[in-house]
Structure 1
Amino acid sequence: MGKIVLFGATGYTGELTAEALQKRGTGGVVLAARSEQKLAELKERLDVDWPTVVADVNDPAALDAVLEPGDVLLTTVGPFVRWGNVAAEAAVRNSSHYIDSTGEAAFIRDIFEKYGPLAEKNGVTMMTALGYDWAPGNLAGALAVEQGGDQVSSVKIGYFNGGKATKFSMSGGTMASSAGAMFYPSHAYLDGELTQERTATRKHDFGEVQDGVPARGFSVGSSEAFSLPRVYPQLKNVDVYLGWNDPDKVQAQAAALEPMLADEQTRAKLMAESEAKLPGSTGGPDAETRAQTYAVILAEGSNDAGDVLSQVRVSGVNGYDFTARFMALVAEKLLGGEVERRGAIGPMEAFGRDKLTDYVAEAGITVD
């Protein structure tokens, strides 16, 4: 029996994930982070005797020293477009299964296109973007296809938050990742093929989140664009939207940035300026704040004429709580050998509709 190595264990999402593993009674967990003191404090807070490893992105050898074939490397270290390759390469190199919490389109594409074939060759499974973005949308999109029937050729999926929003509702790491994503190409599955495009190329109105709150979003790259067409070959379009911010403003910002990003030096300068204004990995919303918000994912299935044939809504706990719980659950399933498919895959490919529905519900998001 292998072990679960939680890399980034003392960061905001990492600590929530460690807590979720502890609450599940998961065995064989190793906590990995760059501060020995913070690791000791985390162990004391959780009252666990799990081993710890001092490791960061500047020391890949530290991961090599702890990972073995059949282990599960669960990483929350971002922004992933800057730091994620270290963990992905270590997993493939050591024939360990891999899970991450990214929401960044460019890194998701790297996992599926760059690392996925290597993982398949080495007999391991890689599951990227396995948190609130973008795991439950894989389920919502699948249900929209199945409920709409054989005529469904397109799905649109939107991610939203409900409840009492506050300025503290997003972690520093999420802000850094979201800002960084604007500087890299995004993607969508359009007209039967993966298409590279900028973030916020399109906008879509899904109606309302709840009680008159509009559900408008801007287009983003996601794991659904890679995975759902492999599960449902009838799909010609898989288009995903994010409704965290005003889509009109985001689209205008993305359009203004686009002509500057072709030059790598300009891109680097803009990224550095953006990072200097952001708080970085400085924690996130506490349990009380998270309890005041909830996740909502909406999906529509349409035919070739654009007629909406199905509408799906799934909702539940705050996205951070779902992310921690779902990654902890999937890490157990990978370690236990439940997932047999190798390479880079999405949650529908890993579990199928019925199991995925149950697992997403167990992590706190249910079909309405």
Structure 2
Amino acid sequence: MGKIVLFGATGYTGELTAEALKRRGARAVLAARSEQKLAELVARLEVDWPTAVADIADSASLEALLEPGDVLISTVGPFVRWGSVAADAAVRTGAHYVDSTGEGAFIRDIFENYGPRAEAAGITMLTALGYDWAPGNVAGAIAADADPSVTSIKVGYFNGGKPGKGSMSGGTMASSAGAMFYPSYAFLDGQVVTERTATRKHDFGEVDPGVPARGFSVGSSEALSLPRVYPQLKNVDVYLGWNDPDKVQAQAAALEPLLADEASRARLMAESEARTPGSTGGPDAETRAQSYAVILAEGADENGAVVSRVRLTGVNGYDFTAAFIALVAEKLLAGEVTRRGAIGPVEAFGLEKAAAYAAEAGIARE
């Protein structure tokens, strides 16, 4: 029997995931770069779990913790900068891999570049298993499953309640800012199309009565996974409604000509990182309880007529992320997932189980 290794355990999402593992009665090796912070985390959790110092600057320190059949959970971001260390370690050691990223460029890298390597290594890689983009895979699959005429899927992510100031972690802000510097994509006309973030906007109706549900287009795991589950799909387009889509679209359009080469990208990213807080914690339980996740999906036919609509709601996205990652890590360790390579949650479990597991983690169909 293998073990679960939680890399980035002392970060905001890492600690929430450790708490979720504890609630499930699971056990994990807690890995991070600070021995002192690891000791403090173990004390807060009141567990006797093993700890290990591992750093993204020293890939060998992480690989030394892993054996074939283990499950590596990575919560270390921004993933476009730091995520490859954990992904490489999993492939090289034969450990299954799960992460919390929401960054489209990294997700695409996992599917397109790491996927074949993972399959050859006999491991499963499940990227983007958090609030973005796991529940949208479920919502999109339900919308596709609802009517045989569905050939296009649109999925939107929103927050209900009162998110307010301080509702986003420093890591999320850093990842969101960094994602603007990389090309995005969507599945359009039967193929993955590279484009900038916020190329399109879409109106899904209302998040709650009187609250509009408008989002801007983003790269996601749905665009890479759902067409493999439902070959009849010609379009899978995903939207994020956390910020004003008009403002984001204008920012993305203005930024695009400045990213002509890697030197320009690096300079702009460095300037952005200097302005963003990075891993500085996130909303406490009381703040998280003031908002909740809303995922909307539309299935349309060849003529563009919407023939199915799906609404999922549930706990705050951070709580879902931790709970779902902990659950999936347990299932991977138990051998429930037999498909290898880089896959999405519906590919891993089938729609019925994926929906049930999402509901267990706190987000379900209304």
Both proteins in one fold, TM over 0.5? yes
Deviations 1:310-347 (A, max 9, x none): 00000000000000000000000000000000000000
**Letter aligned with residue 292 of structure 1:** Q
The corresponding residue for 2:282 is 284
Distance 1:193 1:164 in 2: 37
Which of 347, 352, 355 is the equivalent residue of 2:353? 355
Deviation of 1:260 after TM superposition, in Å, equals: 1.1
The code of the aligned residue for 2:292 comes to Y
Following TM superposition, by how much is the alpha carbon of 1:102 offset from its aligned partner in structure 2, in angstroms?
0.3
Letter in 1 for 2:247: K
| AA aligned opposite 2:180 | M
Report the counterpart of residue 17 of structure 1 in structure 2.
Answer: 17
Aligned-pair CA distance for 1:211: 1.6
Structure 2: unaligned runs, 5 residues or longer: none
Displacement, 1:150? 1.4
How far apart in 2 are the matches of 1:133 and 1:240? 10
Tell me the equivalent position of 2:44: 45
CA offsets 1:101-157 (integer angstroms, 9 cap, x no match)? 00001000110011110000010000000000000000000000111x111000000
Aligned pairs for 1:132-143 (under 5 A) are: 132-143=131-142
Cα offset, 1:264, TM superposition = 1.4
Equivalence for 1:72: 71
TM-score (norm 2): 0.99
* 1:218 equivalent in structure 2: 216
Number of aligned residues: 366
1:109-128 counterparts in 2 under 5 A? 109-128=108-127
Which residue type is aligned with residue 208 of structure 1?
E
- Residue 191 in 1 paired to residue 189 in 2? yes
Name segments (4+ residues, structure 1) moved above 2 Å: none
User: 2:100 matched to which residue of 1?
Assistant: 101
User: How far apart, CA to CA, are the structure 1 residues paired with 2:261 and 2:333?
Assistant: 43
- Report the Cα distance in structure 1 between the residues aligned to 2:48 and 2:356, rounded to whole angstroms: 30
Deviations 1:181-206 (Å, cap 9, x if unpaired)?
00000110000000000000000000
Hey, what's the Cα distance between the residues in 1 that align with 2:132 and 2:287?
19
Once residues 346 and 357 of structure 1 are traced to their aligned partners in structure 2, the CA distance between those partners, rounded to angstroms, is 13
Describe the superposition over 1:14-40 as per-residue Cα deviations: whole angstroms up to 9, x where unpaired.
00000000111003x100001101100
Corresponding residue for 2:336? 338
Give distance in 2, aligned partners of 1:320 and 1:145: 27
Amino acid at match of 1:26: A
Secondary structure of 2:350's counterpart equals: helix
- Which residue of structure 2 aligns with residue 152 of structure 1? 150
* SS of aligned partner of 1:159: strand
Is the deviation greater in 256-265 or in 97-106? Answer: 256-265
Q: Give the AA of the match of 2:283.
A: P
TM-score, normalised via structure 1 length: 0.99
Question: Residues 318-337 of structure 1: matches in 2 within 5 Å?
Answer: 318-337=316-335
**1:248-327 residue pairs with structure 2 within 5 A?**
248-327=246-325
Match in the other structure for 1:3: 3
RMSD: 0.5
Give the drift of 1:263: 1.7
In the TM superposition, residue 167 of structure 1 has moved relative to its aligned partner by 1.2
